[in-house]
Amino acid sequence: MATETNDTVASACVDAGGSALGMPQLCADWIPNQIFWLLVALVAIYFVMSRIALPRIGAVLAERSGTITNDIAAAEELKNKAAEAETAYEKALVDARAEAHKIVAEAKAEIQAELDVELQKADAQIAAKTAESEAAIAEIRAGAVKSVTDVAKATTKELVAAMGGSADAKTITAAVSARMKG
C-alpha cells in the first residue's frame, strides 16, 4: 500500500495537495467534530469555574462585604463618638461662657467696691480741703472786716479832726459799728 496517493486523503474541504479549500471552520464535514470539542471545552470551563474560580470570587466578595460592613459600623461608631464629642464641646463652651460671665461680674463688683472706697476717700479729702478753705476764707474775711473797721475808725477820726471837731474813740467805734451792721 505504499503506492497510495493523496487522492484518498482529499475530501470536500481539502484539495489534492492537502491545502484547505476556503475557511476550514466552515467545512460541513468537520462541524460535528468542532461541536464535540466545543462541548468538551464548555464542560471543562464550567467545572473549572464552578469548582475553583467562583468559590474564590464568592469568598473575595464575602470578605469585601464583611469589610465594608465592618467599616460602615466603625464609621457609624466614630460618627456617634464625634456627635458625643461635639455635644461635650458645646456643653463645655456654654459652661466656659457662664464662668467667664461670672468672673466678669465678680471683677466688676470688686472694681465698683474699690471705686466706691476711693470715691469716699476723695470726697473726705475734698470735704477736709473745703473746710480748711472755708476756715481760711472766714479768717481772711474776719481779718478784712477788722482791717476795714480799723481803717474806717482811723479815717473817721482824721475826718472829724480835719473838720475841726473832736471825737473820742468810743463814739467813733459806736458810729463805725452801727454803720457796718447795716
Name the pLDDT band for 182 (thresholds 50, 70, 90).
Answer: low
Rounded CA separation 145/138 (Å): 10
Predicted local confidence at residue 7, as pLDDT: 47
pLDDT score recorded for residue 71: 95
List, for residues 116-171, the tens digit of each pLDDT value. Answer: 999 999 999 999 999 999 999 999 988 888 888 888 888 888 888 888 777 787 88
Phi-psi bin for 18: left (phi > 0), alpha (psi -120 to 50), beta? left
Give the CB-side neighbour count of residue 96, counting CA atoms within 13 A.
6
Residue 108 pLDDT = 95
User: What pLDDT does 26 receive?
Assistant: 80
Amino acid found at 37: W
8 A C-beta contact, residue 11 and residue 29: yes
SS3 breakdown of the chain: % helix, strand, coil, rounded to 5?
Answer: 80, 0, 20
State yes or no: pLDDT of 24 exceeds 60. yes
pLDDT tens digits, residue range 39-70? 999 999 999 999 999 999 999 999 999 999 99
Helices and strands (DSSP H and E) totals, the chain: 3, 0
Distance CA 119, CA 109 (A): 15
CA–chain centroid gap for 46, Å, is 65
